Amino acid sequence: MSEAKAALLEAYRNEHAGLGAGLEALTQMLDRLQEGRLVPGAARDAERFFQQVMIPHAEWEELTFYPAAGALLREHGDVNAAMVLDHREIAARVADLLALLQRIEAGQRDPALVDRARLLGYQIRALVEVHCRKEEEIYCALVRRHLTDGDVVRALAIGDQLGHD
């Protein structure tokens, strides 16, 4: 790999590490607030993180990384990989949630378990909402404009076989 590619990928990993650290600090602050502990400057710190870290990162990706990666995906990759990854992440959280719910139903009434289950439920909801929005705004728009009637009939037949409406 060239030095330029290595530097770009390292910068990308560093950006994500910074996002992860910022999100960890944000969720820890929210945990403290839930526990009733005052967090001076919480709103200012959260705004600073979003305005100075998260939003500029997203803008950088949209201007530089995604266009380059999009061309590579069309030529060498799987354009659906991100959607499939969504499915895997949703399924993993569902499995974790179901395991927690079984423990809770079996009598483990630890408030931390209930809180973790609640958080997983909200995560699943957010992931599914964003996933469905991507399908509606990207995939369904393409289907409306470009899919042939024959392709639609085949897709519906497969859906019927799998028990979908």
52 phi and psi, to 5 degrees?
Answer: -100, -20
Task: Tell me the pLDDT tens digit for each residue of 113-155.
Answer: 999 999 999 999 999 999 999 999 998 888 888 878 887 778 7
**Kindly report the CA angle at 138 between 8 and 82, in degrees rounded to 5?**
40
In the chain, where are the structural domains located? 1-77, 78-165
End-to-end CA distance of the chain: 48
More confidently predicted of 60 and 93: 93
In sequence order, what are the residues at sequence separation of 6 or more whose Cβ sits closer than 8 angstroms to the Cβ of residue 113? 100, 103, 104
pLDDT band at 33 (very low <50, low <70, confident <90, very high): confident
Q: What are the start-end ranges of the H helices in the chain?
A: 3-34, 42-49, 55-60, 66-76, 81-105, 111-134, 141-146, 149-161
Distances (CA, A) of 121 to 88, 101, 134, 140, 159: 15, 11, 20, 26, 27
What rounded mean pLDDT belongs to the chain? 89
pTM (2 d.p.): 0.79
Task: Tell me the pLDDT tens digit for each residue of 59-86.
Answer: 988 988 888 888 888 889 888 899 999 9
